[in-house]
Structure 1
Amino acid sequence: MQGGKARLVHVNEQVRDFIRSAQRVAETPPSYASVENDLEPLLLTLSKEMTPGEQKKLMSLLLREGITGLLQRLDIRDQ
């Protein structure tokens, strides 16, 4: 930071002990309403793990055949 004052901070053993003994805040992950709602984040995660070529092919398939075609190919289409 230009024009700031330099400061020397001395961390002694007393400060180290305090830091070691301090309780850490644990952030609880948000709970989703139900298992059904986990599909969307799962699909987003999976799409990010795909290569660009795989993403392009999947997009092409979805645009060409839609979700019905994809589900039929996976043999999970409800009748």
Structure 2
Amino acid sequence: MNISFCKHTVFLSHDFHKCIIQHFANTVYHPTSTCRIGPKSDKNSLVDTELRVKGIERLRVVDAYVMPGVVSGNTNVATI
């Protein structure tokens, strides 16, 4: 494992571990529910409750990112 990018930290310190985590952390799961769903008045949401992309006509999102919550089963099946 090449950890040279964390050499600016003290080995095994909190900052060292933070650096290692930031460079190596990964998930084996499919990320879901990261896209905010909300009404037109919500400026922080990307799609409305019908999954229409705000500001772009005739475009809907069909993706696990717009799930309102994480499903307990396979996310691919729920998306399809």
- For the pair shown, the structure with the greater C-alpha radius of gyration is 1
Give yes or no for TM over 0.5.
Answer: no
Higher helix fraction: Structure 1 or Structure 2?
1
Question: Comparing both chains, which one has the higher relative contact order based on Cα–Cα distances under 8 Å and sequence gaps of 6 or more?
Answer: 2
Per the normalisation by structure 1, the TM-score is: 0.24
Question: TM-score, normalized by length of structure 2?
Answer: 0.24
